């Protein structure tokens, strides 16, 4: 873990530099959006006024664009060189629900580089960008129309001609709340993020990222409302965040299928600490877009509660390829979660299904340390026949659950450090191709 220690030292330097910058924050030139025509009447769309303030700030050498007290409606805004965004207490930057207010931009969506809908707040190709404040950025997610997806049964009932026609229709997605793309030395602190229309905070192709003390909330009817998505990024610290959404609270990604293998850019050197994961489909999930690889991640000193589906979650598909490795979950309390663990290498195999990669995905070298609490079930660990989940070490884990752990296609798993109190059925059900299992 020498590389991880070096990464921690570099993160401390980054945090200290950010703190130092905050201490000198009084010297930043302020650009109040109301000075550029922004109105908080709940009807006026202030995109032009806010963007004018941002552009003026940048051309005059940089400073801080201020969202003051009040609710300011806006479409997509794009931060510029030298511009920080600050939302004051009781200030709200609120996204419109008009698709035309969010231009199509070159980005990555669900693991594929493509033209896609911009976020409400966009930071692209910037260094030293900062978003902070005691106010709120609100994506108006409950007001956006719901996205309809075909089930496997519906897809199977379509003719090939109808399938081909559907595949040719360009998809236009809802806007993410915030996207940092290809940025270095990123900081987002203290702010409340509310009701993203789709993914909340997308960290894409970034390095040296600090995310601290965010409150993220999404109504449980909003589809794909991930809290934080770390996507092919290096050197990320997430600390002190409280997340309750309707998908994964935090998801670590690195591209999907052929395009992800083409880009081949991992997510690595990531620390997630002192966070709370409320309701959500996962606490910290690896995947499902894993084609660039995920490595050197530590999740520590966190709490998961409120029916979270799976605080410790791994998901991929045979088409993804690459490796998820050197992952540590430690010192995590779980309270009435749905299941403690989920390892699924055939996750959500719905049409159209991509063919398996030339080299199947690999999940290996996972440490699960000091995990304790209550769950509906212990969960399951399910690999692939030709690529079993391998080398998992449980240490001082104590789980009380209604149902036990199901394993399938695993190798070199040490369960001796996993103490289970299961109310119904066996503690561990071993299915096919389970090799070298130590239970005592």
Does the pLDDT of residue 21 top 50, yes or no? no
Q: Give mean pLDDT, residues 106-125.
A: 97
At 417, list the tokens. Answer: 């450090």
Contact between 331 and 369 (Cβ < 8 Å): yes
Q: For the segment 384-420, what is each residue's pLDDT rounded down to a tens digit? A: 999 999 999 999 999 999 999 999 999 999 999 999 9
Question: Does residue 5 surpass a pLDDT of 90?
Answer: no
Tokens at 380, concatenated:
């399951």
Classify residue 439 as exposed, middle or buried by CB count within 10 Å of its CB (0-12, 13-18, 19+).
exposed
Query: What's the CA gap between 326 and 381, in Å, rounded?
Result: 17
For 127, half-sphere exposure in the C-beta direction (CA atoms, 13 angstrom radius) is 0
pLDDT at 16 over 50: no
pLDDT value at 167 more than 80: no
- Count of alpha carbons within 13 Å of 106, Cβ hemisphere only? 4
Checking if the pLDDT of 25 tops 80, the result is no
Could you give the domains of the chain?
Answer: 2-438 (2.160.20.10)
Residue with token string 């993203």: 196
pLDDT, residue 7, reads: 58
Q: Which residues are within 8 A (CB) of 293 and not within 5 positions of it... i.e. 6 or more apart? A: 254, 264, 266, 267, 268, 322, 323, 324, 325
Out of 27-31, 261-265, 376-380, which region has the weakest mean confidence (pLDDT)? 27-31
pLDDT, one tens digit per residue, over 234-244 is: 999 999 999 99
188 CB neighbour count, 10 Å cutoff: 28
Confidence band of 28 (pLDDT split at 50, 70, 90):
confident
Question: Contact 72/49 with Cβ under 8 angstroms?
Answer: no
Q: Which token pair is 250?
A: 């935090």
pLDDT of 80 above 50: yes
Higher pLDDT, 440 or 247: 247
């Amino acid at each position: 873990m020498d590389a991880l220690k070096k990464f921690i030292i570099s993160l401390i330097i980054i945090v200290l530099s950010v703190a130092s910058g905050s201490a000198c924050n009084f010297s930043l030139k302020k650009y109040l959006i109301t000075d550029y025509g922004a109105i908080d009447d709940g009807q006026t769309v202030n995109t032009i006024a806010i963007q004018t303030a941002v552009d003026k700030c940048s051309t005059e050498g940089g400073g801080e664009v201020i969202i003051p007290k009040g609710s300011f409606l806006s479409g997509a805004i794009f931060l510029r060189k030298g511009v920080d965004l600050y939302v004051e207490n009781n200030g709200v930057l609120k996204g419109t629900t008009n698709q035309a207010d969010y231009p199509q931009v070159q980005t990555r969506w669900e693991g594929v580089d493509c033209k896609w809908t911009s976020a409400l707040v966009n930071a692209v190709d910037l260094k030293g960008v900062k978003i902070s404040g005691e106010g709120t950025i609100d994506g108006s997610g409950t007001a956006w129309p719901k996205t309809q997806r075909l089930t496997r049964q519906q897809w199977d009932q379509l003719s090939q001609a109808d399938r081909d026609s559907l595949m040719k229709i360009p998809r236009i997605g809802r806007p993410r709340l915030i996207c940092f793309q290809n940025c270095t030395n990123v900081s987002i602190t203290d702010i409340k993020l509310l009701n993203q229309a789709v993914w909340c905070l997308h960290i894409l192709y970034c390095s040296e990222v600090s995310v601290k003390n965010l409150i993220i909330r999404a109504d449980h009817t909003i589809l794909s409302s991930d809290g934080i998505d770390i996507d092919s990024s290096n050197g990320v610290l997430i600390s002190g965040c409280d997340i309750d959404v309707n998908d994964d609270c935090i998801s670590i990604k690195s591209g999907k299928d052929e395009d992800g293998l083409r880009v081949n850019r991992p997510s690595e050197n990531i620390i997630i600490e002192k966070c709370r994961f409320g309701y959500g489909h996962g606490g910290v999930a690896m995947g499902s877009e894993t084609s660039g690889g995920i490595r050197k991640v530590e999740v520590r000193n966190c709490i998961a509660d409120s029916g979270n589906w799976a605080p410790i979650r791994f998901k991929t598909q045979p088409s993804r390829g690459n490796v998820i490795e050197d992952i540590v979950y430690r010192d995590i309390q779980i309270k009435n979660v749905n299941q403690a663990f989920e390892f699924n290498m055939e996750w959500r195999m719905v049409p159209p299904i991509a063919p398996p990669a030339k080299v199947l995905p690999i999940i290996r070298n996972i440490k699960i340390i000091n995990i304790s609490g209550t769950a509906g079930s212990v969960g399951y660990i399910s690999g692939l026949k030709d690529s079993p989940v391998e080398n998992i070490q449980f240490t001082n884990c104590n789980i009380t659950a209604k149902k036990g752990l199901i394993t399938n296609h695993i190798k070199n798993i040490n369960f001796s450090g996993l103490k289970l109190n299961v109310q119904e059925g066996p503690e561990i059900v071993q299915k096919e191709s389970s090799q070298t299992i130590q239970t005592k």
